[in-house]
Structure 1
């Protein structure tokens, strides 16, 4: 096993309800799903244990990853007494039975939670997110069931992922939201307009997924050549040939700045996220120990205000070509829910 990095991983508060996590988390999705074939289980368990030894205590998964196989992987990795050191986050909201259906009805919320508890082999989930917002169910109804699960001791804290500002506000009125997970990186900054300010107004922690642009801010255009045919990123607009040349220019600028600073482009991109505030926790994913060691080293990279401005100038508005997803309908931009008055419980 590669030696654990010497970077000290500081702790941070996520939200206002008492949740404390490592200032950088570990996204586990790519170990099991979407980014090519599932990786060998023993190697991924070794990576998870290596991350824990390095001071990472915040692990992120979802029932949808696999589906289910990523939670089962974490369940195996958590055996042997490490559970008490960790803050475990998982998610519900996309039913994989017979297609991708977004659901937030109470019966589904409860069944999904109980399924995750079984697969993870734990008695309580530290942070339970709604992965995508069901636009047919008032958010107050979904939150009502999550609140019951908190009261029953099955989950400790509630989170939302890819929710609009108004949805976050309505949800927070039912039960405090501890964290909102969203895509935020040097080349995905839409959330800064109203979602980030709303979270900060309400004292909600911010968890940044894909802080490395799904690997593009680590390796640039050459990443595409290494992707398997089963890798979902091949179909993502920003990775398509018609957008690649322009986006590659962004990476080259980031890479040149990283070289000047004596760090890697991954570390520079992650450092930018860390410098957004003490309420922001990025959760880069990886399947390689050497990449993990690089990523955690970002905690030691310091950026001046001038360097932040320079880095942001490389990715000025309109420079990034292509949407974040092949279809944006399931993301935060369209996640309003009907009013509570419209709901007729069965």
Structure 2
């Protein structure tokens, strides 16, 4: 991938680039109140100055706000105007619901709205946020190929897709450059089918929720009132699952790093073992955690560490999403 080259870690003082991207969702949506704009600009500036060169957003992140000034893309666009365009890459996502249309005119209209909010002439990577049908995925790939020819996007992605569908869309619709998928110590289902397809076709994986929605990095008995994660099965099984956080914290203490460093280092080493390129996109609204996440590229886990962490996915209680979420285009084994 062309944009993936921006993540090659270098040792030069001018470009201390990291292999870690930044997921912007939490700045405006779902887990917290909308961040104060000034605080959000400081956060984005800090991760950029510490080597982050890829920013991930979506038209869905902020669509619940009546005023577009609180839209995730709007916040990110204001920051991106302050840095050179060739110094970063940005991805956003097309949301197909409620109409379920993936035709060229619909996709282009959505993309133009995103570009307006981002104040950009093009995005480096444009995803279909959900692939509701195989035919829709193929149609999106064809539409994206035209948008690529028009210079409005550089590369094409799919989010939440099975390996079977990915291969068919890549073959029949047009080249797919990246898939965005949940991948973490506790979420490993993509490794059996999707990862081999990505390897065979040189498709990068953009890994969202690499910290298992903080389940592995925060020791807590209960979520704050109003936290959206309360409906997630793994948080509803906190008593069984909190032991994993304890194990990760113990390992981090021995390695003199943070629990998040352990999780992100595991992911990068696992991707290397599997022969695929990965860009983790952890998100946070906390400056210290954001900088700490970027430093994960310097943490190396032993074979024994990896084996301990590998065992957790088989023991976790609860699915990654509630059943009702899985009906809206989530990649599941029944995609055939």
Q: What is the TM-score with the length of structure 2 in the denominator?
A: 0.87
Q: 1:326 aligns with which of 315, 322, 325?
A: 322
Match of 1:20 in 2: 5
List per-residue Cα deviations over 1:217-246 (Å, max 9, x = no partner): 110334x44x341x3111111111xx1111
Q: Give unmatched runs, 5+ long, in structure 1.
A: 1-14, 338-346
CA pair 29-118 structure 1, distance change in 2 beyond 3 A: same
Match of 1:281 in 2: 279
Q: Residue 19 of structure 1 contacts residue 157 of structure 1 at CA under 8 Å; is this kept in 2? A: no
CA pair 249-19 structure 1, distance change in 2 beyond 3 A: closer
Q: Residue 135 of structure 1 contacts residue 335 of structure 1 at CA under 8 Å; is this kept in 2? A: no
Following superposition, the deviation at residue 316 of structure 1 comes to 4.5
Q: 1:86 aligns with which of 82, 85, 88?
A: 88
Q: Residue 217 of structure 2 contacts residue 248 of structure 2 at CA under 8 Å; is this kept in 1? A: no
Match of 2:74 in 1: 72
4+ aligned runs moved over 6 Å, structure 1: none
List per-residue Cα deviations over 1:242-278 (Å, max 9, x = no partner): x111110111111111111111111111110111235
Match of 2:120 in 1: 122
Match of 1:221 in 2: 220
Following superposition, the deviation at residue 140 of structure 1 comes to 2.1
Following superposition, the deviation at residue 285 of structure 1 comes to 0.3
Following superposition, the deviation at residue 336 of structure 1 comes to 4.4
1:265 lines up with 2:264 in the alignment? no
CA pair 214-38 structure 1, distance change in 2 beyond 3 A: same
Match of 1:343 in 2: none
Aligned residues: 311
Matched ranges for 1:1-346 at <5 A = 15=1, 19-22=4-7, 23-67=19-63, 69-95=71-97, 100=98, 102-135=100-133, 137-173=135-171, 174-222=173-221, 224-225=222-223, 227-229=224-226, 231-240=227-236, 243-278=237-272, 279-313=277-311, 315-317=312-314, 319-327=315-323, 328-330=326-328, 331-333=330-332, 336=335
Q: Find the aligned partners of 2:133 and 2:334 in 1 and give their Cα distance.
A: 6
Query: 2:167 aligns to what SS in structure 1?
Result: helix
Q: Find the aligned partners of 1:335 and 1:46 in 2 and give their Cα distance.
A: 43
Following superposition, the deviation at residue 334 of structure 1 comes to 6.5
Q: Residue 137 of structure 2 contacts residue 169 of structure 2 at CA under 8 Å; is this kept in 1? A: yes
List per-residue Cα deviations over 1:112-164 (Å, max 9, x = no partner): 11111111000011000111002274422221111000000000000111011
Q: Residue 125 of structure 2 contacts residue 154 of structure 2 at CA under 8 Å; is this kept in 1? A: yes
Q: Find the aligned partners of 2:152 and 2:200 in 1 and give their Cα distance.
A: 28
Q: Give unmatched runs, 5+ long, in structure 2.
A: 8-18
Query: Please, what is the CA RMSD of the aligned residues?
Result: 1.8
State the structure with bigger RCO (CA 8 A, min sep 6), 1 or 2.
Answer: 1
CA pair 21-335 structure 1, distance change in 2 beyond 3 A: farther
CA pair 136-263 structure 1, distance change in 2 beyond 3 A: closer
